[in-house]
Structure 1
Amino acid sequence: MILEFTKMHGLGNDFVVVDAINQDVQLTPEQCRFLGDRRFGVGCDQVLLVERPRDSATDFYYRIFNSDGSEVEQCGNGARCFARFVRDKGLTDKNEIDVGTHSGNIRLFIEEDGSVRINMGPPVLVPGQIPFQAEAQATNYAIEAGGEALQIAAVSMGNPHAVLLVENVDQAPVERLGPVMERHPRFPQRVNVGFMEVQARDRIRLRVFERGAEETLACGTGACAAVVAGQIQGLLDEQVKVALPGGQLVIQWQGGEEPVWMSGPAESVYEGRVEL
């Protein structure tokens, strides 16, 4: 099978984006691993599929596969690339696009400067819905990982996140604790692990070890989860600039059941064809 794709990135979090509307595409986990392989395949953090809508309330359906072949519920940087892709390819002429995902519907707004703003929906803090094993909902949870006693916040933005406060992200133990936390038994569906340095009430630095992809240059849902975690701990304001290794996102949340909003860039790199 010859597969046509577009290579894209959001702040260095890179994707192979596939039009599964005008191509007959049924990717296997092995094929996703091949596409994600940076030596033998195309190379990416995630493979994104653009599919026909599954209900009348949406314009498209959005599927995400990590470079290890696993399918996941949500990807914020990928959603921004998804919006630019469907506009650039002429699949829609809308500036407001409703998209179905495994974790629910999201709305994407393409701004005049080409950036994309996304209504990511309200965060989930109830442990059983994240899912995270805890006796009761709390702002922070004590957890042991890698022989250390840690304090984390647990948040779902359509996918599970653990957020740890650190003094300096440059010195954070991402490589050591990331893999251990990702597969911690208290997170039955594994977890994305964020290491957050608070610089001011409106500014943080963040590194994220992503479930199934290791550390990436940016993680949109991770940025959302970190800001939510900082707000519920009384550390952050409603609007926060999040500096990631690949660039900056702006996250807004008014608390409670209000949705989290994410704004940032999305870029196309090149068009390609690959044999699977």
Structure 2
Amino acid sequence: MATIPFVKMNGAGNDFVVVNALKTPFAPTEAQVRAIADRETGEGCDQLIALEPSDTADVFMRVWNADGGQVETCGNALRCVGWLMMQSTGQDRVTIDTLGGPTTAWSVPGRVGSGDPEGSTSAAQIKVDMGPPRLDWTQVPLAEEMDTRNIELQIGPIDDPVLHTPGAVSMGNPHVVFFMDHAPNDGFVRGSGSLIEHHPLFPEDVNVGFAHVVAPDRIRLRVWERGAGLTRACGTGACAALVATARRRLTGRHAAVEVDGGLLQIDWDEASDHVFMTGPVAVERTGTLTL
């Protein structure tokens, strides 16, 4: 029976159990991941993260959702892992590879806003280069060709839908973003999100965002995360929401995105086409896993 140390962290409330697998391989089964993620009987987390060796980056970040399935990447986890690697190496910038592709993380001064979680590890924010958004229907991916600015999808009756024609974006993982005139309650996010997550239009399932544009530079976002459910924050979801709203000219290319756990600053650079995310990280505790 193996005993493995971990660090419990969160990025704007999106929480992770992070395991150092740089020297000792870590390969949990789906059942073991679910047991670790269970908030009543396990450590409790949205995602389980393993730090693995990489030939092309400072570290490879492997991500499992709470349901036990591996996924491509996680934006808030990238910021947490970036902070950990900078602390351990003394570098002020690190590269992180994932199944969704590589990214770069670095520390920046200042605060996004008053949404920093209590117990943030420092006043500095961690910024990550999330790369360019994937906007073609084959890149999201969708099951059929559509304009990803406003795809043919709706929630509710055909003749009187509650929500319709959302945007679709991949930020290394698939997202659909519905546009709302208010922030929905928990019941609506759970009901609609679970309905759309496994819709046949999305062959790899999908993360479901509900975006309320408060101002041209501010978005209130709630997310039903693929394989994890209602989450306090979703970094790639915040990036997808900014891209989707900017493409519909509801916002500019820069906005503070308010999630349940705090604030994230999202910037879609016009020159490079890359999306940058800035936000806080927090270390909650350390412990050991027994597998």
Report the TM-score when normalising by structure 2: 0.89
Q: Cα offset for 1:31?
A: 1.2
Which of 218, 238, 245 aligns to 1:203? It is 218
Deviations, residues 231-262 of structure 1 (Å, cap 9, x unaligned): 00011112101011100000001348610000
In terms of mean alpha carbon deviation, does 34-43 or 251-260 score higher? Answer: 251-260
Structure 2 distance, partners of 1:47, 1:182, is 20
Q: Cα offset for 1:86?
A: 2.1
Q: Give the match for residue 131 of structure 1.
A: 141
Q: Give the match for residue 119 of structure 2.
A: none
Q: Give the match for residue 70 of structure 2.
A: 71
What 5-or-longer segments of structure 1 have no aligned partner? none
Q: Cα offset for 1:47?
A: 0.4
1:95 equivalent to 2:65? Answer no
Which of 122, 125, 136 aligns to 1:115? It is 125
In the alignment, is the contact (CA less than 8 A) between 1:145 and 1:184 conserved in 2? no
Structure 2 distance, partners of 1:16, 1:272, is 10
In terms of mean alpha carbon deviation, does 261-270 or 112-121 score higher? Answer: 112-121
Structure 1 pair 70/147, CA: closer, same or farther in 2 (3 Å)? farther
1:104 equivalent to 2:95? Answer no
In the alignment, is the contact (CA less than 8 A) between 2:86 and 2:94 conserved in 1? no
Q: Give the match for residue 153 of structure 1.
A: 167
The one-letter amino acid paired with 1:162 is V
What 5-or-longer segments of structure 2 have no aligned partner? 110-122
In the alignment, is the contact (CA less than 8 A) between 2:95 and 2:102 conserved in 1? yes
Aligned length: 272
1:236 equivalent to 2:251? Answer yes
Q: Cα offset for 1:171?
A: 4.2
Structure 2 distance, partners of 1:46, 1:124, is 23
The one-letter amino acid paired with 2:269 is Q
The one-letter amino acid paired with 1:120 is M
In terms of mean alpha carbon deviation, does 34-43 or 164-173 score higher? Answer: 164-173
In the alignment, is the contact (CA less than 8 A) between 1:182 and 1:211 conserved in 2? yes
Q: Cα offset for 1:138?
A: 4.0
In the alignment, is the contact (CA less than 8 A) between 1:123 and 1:257 conserved in 2? no
Deviations, residues 110-166 of structure 1 (Å, cap 9, x unaligned): 235432000000000101111112324342012144545421100000000000011
In the alignment, is the contact (CA less than 8 A) between 2:85 and 2:94 conserved in 1? no
1:2 equivalent to 2:3? Answer yes
Please give the root-mean-square deviation of Cα atoms over the aligned residues, in Å.
1.6
In the alignment, is the contact (CA less than 8 A) between 1:15 and 1:44 conserved in 2? yes
1:268 equivalent to 2:283? Answer yes
Structure 1 distance, partners of 2:218, 2:204, is 30
Structure 1 distance, partners of 2:148, 2:50, is 36
The one-letter amino acid paired with 1:151 is T
In the alignment, is the contact (CA less than 8 A) between 1:95 and 1:111 conserved in 2? no
Structure 2 distance, partners of 1:115, 1:254, is 19
SS at match of 1:35: helix
In terms of mean alpha carbon deviation, does 224-233 or 235-244 score higher? Answer: 235-244
Structure 1 pair 211/100, CA: closer, same or farther in 2 (3 Å)? same
1:39 equivalent to 2:40? Answer yes
Q: Give the match for residue 180 of structure 2.
A: 166
Deviations, residues 199-221 of structure 1 (Å, cap 9, x unaligned): 11001100000000001000000
In terms of mean alpha carbon deviation, does 27-36 or 62-71 score higher? Answer: 27-36
Structure 1 pair 257/186, CA: closer, same or farther in 2 (3 Å)? farther
